[in-house]
Amino acid sequence: MGSVTSSRGAALFGARDAVGAAGVAMAATFLAFGAAVREAGLPPGWALVACWAIYGMPGQLVLVQAASTGFVGGIAPAVMGAIAVNARFLPMAIAITPLFGVAERKRLIPAIPFIAVTPWAAAMRAFPKIAAGARLAWFLGFGLTSWVVAGLAALAGFYVAGMLDDHARAALLFVNPLYYALLLAADLDKPAPRRAILCGAAAAGLVFILPSSMGLLAAGIIGGTAAFLWGRARGGR
Amino acid sequence: MAALLPFYGGGRVEAADLALALTALACLLLRSAGVWLAGGLGADHPIIAWATAIAQATLAAFVMLAIIAPSGALADVPLAARLCGLGVGVAVCLAFGRNLLPALVVGLVAMLALRALLA
């Protein structure tokens, strides 16, 4: 069923995928992040380490916003907020692990830092075209390339921060949700993702009644659980 | 080492460094825990289906909020322009074989065009 079978070919295929729409979306978002880091008074090295070590934009932004206020509420609330908005890494890691078709968990260690929204969503789309034995190579090719794109874009954003007005920054910030929306839209013809998308969108309103750092996580858990139960009620279709 | 200090900021950003280190460690643990928990489960196991639904629902909620109620510079873009960009992008994606890059570019251009018209 997979059309890409060799590991080398899959890694190159992954790298190529990472510089397409995913690369454009990631570069735009991380450019805006780099500019925000500079405005918060943090150095470029911090922007680079945040991109590569956290690799989850909502959590990165929580820290930058806290830093811009001088951590007036302390470090702990900022860290807890950043972890809460990036808690989706846990279900994403659970969901993608069996798809690698790797029996030994040790072999997945190099892939762990790359489990984030963009590689995860791209993998869910690409994996059906890749033989199980070559999926880890695809993921590493995609993940490494998108890491490099993210880091370079953040540094570029740091150094061109003064040239970006609010209009330019708004355009950059729009690219990321639009890209994710397109990834989700491409899955609308499949019953299980369609249910999850509808329930997640419907549950998004929870953000307005819960603390902001917990709202997205709660929307995902409640919306996803509702979609899962809906699917079970329909016989898992 | 001293040459790197301007790039990394020296001791000026200790609180931000600590916050970054703790968050990065927690994110690594979350990812590792997911891989460890899923080890041995098949792709069609109900727990995997549940986790996949949660991940997709979280992404859908994130997109919904980023378009309907964004913060920061994007909040200054009229809602109509944001919805127009989203609608046009999705329509192009579905109409042209789910090709993401052209849909991304056309959606962005549509948002910018309507924002300019409404300004």
Residue A178 has a pLDDT of 92
Residue B5 has a pLDDT of 52
Nearest in space to B73 (alpha carbons), one of A33, A173, A13, A52: A173
> Does position A196 have pLDDT exceeding 90, yes or no?
yes
All residues of chain A having their beta carbon less than 8 Å from the beta carbon of residue B18 are 75
All residues of chain A having their beta carbon less than 8 Å from the beta carbon of residue B105 are 24
Residue B8 has a pLDDT of 61
All residues of chain B having their beta carbon less than 8 Å from the beta carbon of residue A170 are 73-74, 76-77
Average pLDDT over residues A78-104: 89
Structural tokens at position A39 = 């405005």
Q: What is the pLDDT of residues A99-112, one digit of tens each?
A: 998 888 889 999 99
> Does position B113 have pLDDT exceeding 60, yes or no?
yes
Mean pLDDT of chain A: 89
Length of chain B: 119
Average pLDDT over residues B59-82: 89
Mutate to test the interface with B, among A49, A55, A60, A182 (most CBs of B within 10 A): A182
Q: Phi then psi for A56, rounded to 5 degrees? A: -155, 105
The distance of A64 to chain B (nearest Cα, Å) reads: 8
Cα separation, A21 vs B110, in Å, equals 17
Mean pLDDT of chain B: 87
Q: What is the pLDDT of residues B8-57, one digit of tens each?
A: 655 445 899 999 999 999 999 999 999 999 987 887 889 989 999 998 89
All residues of chain A having their beta carbon less than 8 Å from the beta carbon of residue B68 are 204
Residue B6 has a pLDDT of 55
Mutate to test the interface with B, among A90, A104, A234 (most CBs of B within 10 A): A90
Q: What is the pLDDT of residues A42-66, one digit of tens each?
A: 999 999 999 999 999 888 988 998 8
Residue A165 has a pLDDT of 83
Other CB atoms within a 10 A radius of the CB of residue A230 amount to: 16
Residue B109 has a pLDDT of 95
Cα separation, B10 vs B67, in Å, equals 38
Dihedral sign, Cα of residue A52, residue B107, residue B87, residue B68 = positive
The distance of B92 to chain A (nearest Cα, Å) reads: 9
The ipTM value here is 0.85
Classify A4 as helix, strand or coil.
Answer: strand
Please name the member of A54, A93, A200 whose beta carbon is closest to the beta carbon of B24.
Answer: A54
Number of cross-chain residue pairs from A and B with Cβ atoms under 8 Å apart: 315
Cα separation, B63 vs B86, in Å, equals 10
> Does position B98 have pLDDT exceeding 80, yes or no?
yes
Average pLDDT over residues A117-121: 91
Nearest in space to B16 (alpha carbons), one of A67, A83, A158, A155: A67
Q: What is the pLDDT of residues A15-51, one digit of tens each?
A: 999 998 889 888 988 998 999 899 889 999 999 999 9
All residues of chain A having their beta carbon less than 8 Å from the beta carbon of residue B107 are 178, 182
Q: Higher confidence at residue B25 or residue B4?
A: B25
Residue A154 has a pLDDT of 96
pLDDT band at B71 (very low <50, low <70, confident <90, very high): confident
Widest CA span of chain A, in angstroms? 55
Q: What pTM value is reported for the model?
A: 0.82
**Surface of A (22-41) touching B: CB under 8 A:** 22, 24-25, 32, 41
Residue B1 has a pLDDT of 47
Cross-chain residue pair B23–A82, CB shorter than 8 Å: yes
Other CB atoms within a 10 A radius of the CB of residue B95 amount to: 10
